[in-house]
């Protein structure tokens, strides 16, 4: 399923030509298809069938209020990693009772806000964090529902920067310590043990590491049961990959069916998942315009108006994003380096792309719905891109383009 298709040699999002959006809102802009997000959410929902489950969308992948609101209306829960993301979920109409709070460094302030909002669960990542959470909950006369995030030490076979479940990573509690810390949690008066959690990495393209992690979690769950510790839910994290280029990740249905099968002897435990990329990755593009073409004896450059500050993934992870011209034309193709205006050699969106280009052409940087806008910055005092959500033939501006005044609004020259 793709919402981005050519009709009469023009690239459309749902029923709207991308060129029409550029004409109205300018470039660069992020464009999201609500049908694509809905379709991914429903694929998760249907695959679970009768299994007791909760989908907690990982807000960090794309935290625009319109995206969160769409998912909230579909019934989604949320996985947050900061007080800021909590505030976004609440603002967008998300249900705190379907919200879990992950992350290695929750501050006391963030714990207070999440306790006040009555979230579903804290995914606690260290003994010290557990003790702090107990203390804060005590001060507020609250009981904190808690899972321990356990590091299962499995190799997710993904980019080292986005692999999180190896024993040398900073995430989670080492499996060997889990029982001791659960026993401690059981003793703490303002902690209620709710679940067991893991997350092994992102952009996984095989099912085996997920299953290996699930089995390790179930082994631990069994040992906890013998200690009379009740685990109400098993949170298996996020991480399902999407197709950027030639990858062949499992489908959402294959992935969920495999998780359900792996856990079928534990129907009492509600299954939680925290998908981010697989929900929104292929539901968005970054639309950019060619400023200049520059041909040298060595290289052809297409300098576009989007840059590493808009989409950091190519620079940071050498990530591949397909790049398509919004107008298909019969002209000679050349091998292009697609680069932005930022003053860094690492500022590129794609290397060696075969395209037939002319000045002012529009290019769609594909699969940019996840970790695109949410990782953007203002480097080089570049106002951040506008965000647009399309629904059939309706076009909604869901974040206005920043102005330069926005960027220095908080700054002061000392008198």
For ligand LLP, the closer of residues 238 and 340 by Cβ is 238
* Residue 43: CB minimum distance to ligand LLP, A: 14
* Interacting residue with ligand LLP among 199, 321, 382, 384 (CB under 6 A): 199
Write down the least CB distance from residue 242 to ligand LLP, Å. 9
- To 10 degrees, what angle do helices 208-226 and 252-262 make? 30
Question: Judged by CB under 6 A, which of 34, 62, 76, 203 binds ligand LLP?
Answer: 203
Question: In angstroms, what CA-CA distances link 49 with 31, 44, 257?
Answer: 31, 9, 9
* Minimum distance from residue 354 beta carbon to ligand LLP (Å): 25
223 is in an annotated binding site: no
Residues within window 262-281 making contact with ligand LLP, judged by CB under 6 A: 274-278
Which x/- pattern over 64-93 shows residues binding ligand LLP (rule: CB under 6 A)? ---------------x--------------
366 to 385, contacts with ligand LLP by CB under 6 A? 371, 375
Report the SS3 class of residue 30. Answer: strand
Cα 261 to Cα 94, 295, 387, distances in angstroms: 29, 55, 39
Rounded Cα distance between 74 and 54, Å, is 12
Joined together, the tokens standing for residue 411 give 């700054």
Instruction: Write phi, then psi, for 101 (nearest 5 degrees).
Output: -120, 105
Strand stretches in 241-342, DSSP E:
270-273, 284-295, 300-304, 323-325, 334-339
Q: Which is nearer to ligand LLP, 277 or 382 (CB)?
A: 277
Taking the complex as a whole, how short is the minimal distance between the CB of residue 408 and ligand LLP, in angstroms?
A: 27
Q: Which stretch binds ligand LLP (CB under 6 A): 186-194, 196-204, 221-229, 295-303?
A: 196-204
Site for ligand LLP in 114-173 (CB under 6 A): 162
276 is known to lie in a ligand binding site: yes
Number of residues near ligand LLP (by CB under 6 A)? 21
Contact in structure between 179 and 170 (CB atoms under 8 Å): no
Decide: is 313 part of the binding site for ligand LLP (CB under 6 A): yes
Q: Would you call 56 a catalytic residue per the annotation?
A: no
Cis peptide, bond prior to residue 206, ω within 30 of zero:
no
User: Three-state SS for 392?
Assistant: coil
Three-class secondary structure of residue 45 per DSSP: helix
Among 238, 284, 350, 369, binds ligand LLP (CB under 6 A): 238
Nearest to 388 by CA among 380, 376, 396: 396
Closer residue to ligand LLP in complex, CB, 92/240: 240
DSSP 11-22: EEETTEEHHHHH
Nearer to ligand LLP, 22 or 194 (CB): 194
Q: Which of 29, 198, 291, 343 is catalytic?
A: 343
309 vs 380: CA distance, rounded Å:
8
Does the annotation list 274 as a binding residue?
yes
Q: Is 239 in the site for ligand LLP (CB under 6 A)?
A: yes
- The DSSP H or E segment spanning 316 is helix 313-317
What are the helix and strand counts (H, E) for the chain? 12, 21
Nearer to ligand LLP, 202 or 324 (CB): 202
Residue 16 or 262: the one with the smaller Cβ distance to ligand LLP is 262
| 275 annotated ligand-binding residue | yes
Among 99, 98, 102, smallest CA distance to 124 is for: 102
Cα–Cα distances (Å) from 230 to 30, 176, 253, 271, 306, in that order, read 44, 19, 29, 14, 51
Q: Is 321 in the site for ligand LLP (CB under 6 A)?
A: no
Applying CB under 6 A, among 62, 69, 82, 102 the residue interacting with ligand LLP is 102
State the CB neighbour count (10 A cutoff) for residue 141. Answer: 8
Question: Which residues does the annotation mark as catalytic?
Answer: 343
* Binding site, annotated residues for substrate: 277, 313, 317, 344, 371
* Binding site, annotated residues for pyridoxal 5'-phosphate: 239, 274-277, 371
The binding site for ligand LLP (CB under 6 A) comprises 58, 61, 79, 102, 162, 199, 202-203, 237-240, 274-278, 313, 317, 371, 375
């Amino acid at each position: 399923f793709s919402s981005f298709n050519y009709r009469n040699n023009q690239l459309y999002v749902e029923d709207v030509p991308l060129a029409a959006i550029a004409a109205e809102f300018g470039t660069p802009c992020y464009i999201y298809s609500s049908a694509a997000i809905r379709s991914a959410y429903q694929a998760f929902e249907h695959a679970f069938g009768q299994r007791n489950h909760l989908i907690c969308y990982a807000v960090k992948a794309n935290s625009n209020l319109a995206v969160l609101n769409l998912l909230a209306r579909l019934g989604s829960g949320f996985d947050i990693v900061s007080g800021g993301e909590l505030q976004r979920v609440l603002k967008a109409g998300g249900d705190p009772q379907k919200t879990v709070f992950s992350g290695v460094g929750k501050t006391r302030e963030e714990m207070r806000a999440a306790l006040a909002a009555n979230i579903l669960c804290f995914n606690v990542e260290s003994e010290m964090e557990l003790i702090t959470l107990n203390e804060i909950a005590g001060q507020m006369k609250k009981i904190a529902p808690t899972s321990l995030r356990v590091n299962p030490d499995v190799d997710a076979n993904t980019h080292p920067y986005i692999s999180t479940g190896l024993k040398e990573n900073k995430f989670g509690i080492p499996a060997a310590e889990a029982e001791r810390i659960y026993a401690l949690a059981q003793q703490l008066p303002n902690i209620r043990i709710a679940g067991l959690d893991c997350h092994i990495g992102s952009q996984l393209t095989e099912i085996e590491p997920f299953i290996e992690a699930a089995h390790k979690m179930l082994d631990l769950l069994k040992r906890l049961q013998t200690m009379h510790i009740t685990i109400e839910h098993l949170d298996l994290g996020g991480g399902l990959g999407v197709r950027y280029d030639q990858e062949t990740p499992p489908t959402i249905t294959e992935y969920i069916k495999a998780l359900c099968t792996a856990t079928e002897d534990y129907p009492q435990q509600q299954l939680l998942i925290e998908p981010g990329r697989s929900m929104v990755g292929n539901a968005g593009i970054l639309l950019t315009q060619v400023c200049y073409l520059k041909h040298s004896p060595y290289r052809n450059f297409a300098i576009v108006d989007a840059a590493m500050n808009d989409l950091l993934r190519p620079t940071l992870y050498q990530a591949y994003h397909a790049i398509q011209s919004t107008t298909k034309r019969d002209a000679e193709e050349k091998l292009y380096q697609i680069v932005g205006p930022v003053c860094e050699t690492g500022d590129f969106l794609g290397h060696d792309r075969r395209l037939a280009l002319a000045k002012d052409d529009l290019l769609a940087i594909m699969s940019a719905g996840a970790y695109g806008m949410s990782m953007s910055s203002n480097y080089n005092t570049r106002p951040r891109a506008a965000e647009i959500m399309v629904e059939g033939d309706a076009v909604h501006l869901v974040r206005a383009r920043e102005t330069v005044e926005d960027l220095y609004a908080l700054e002061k020259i000392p008198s």
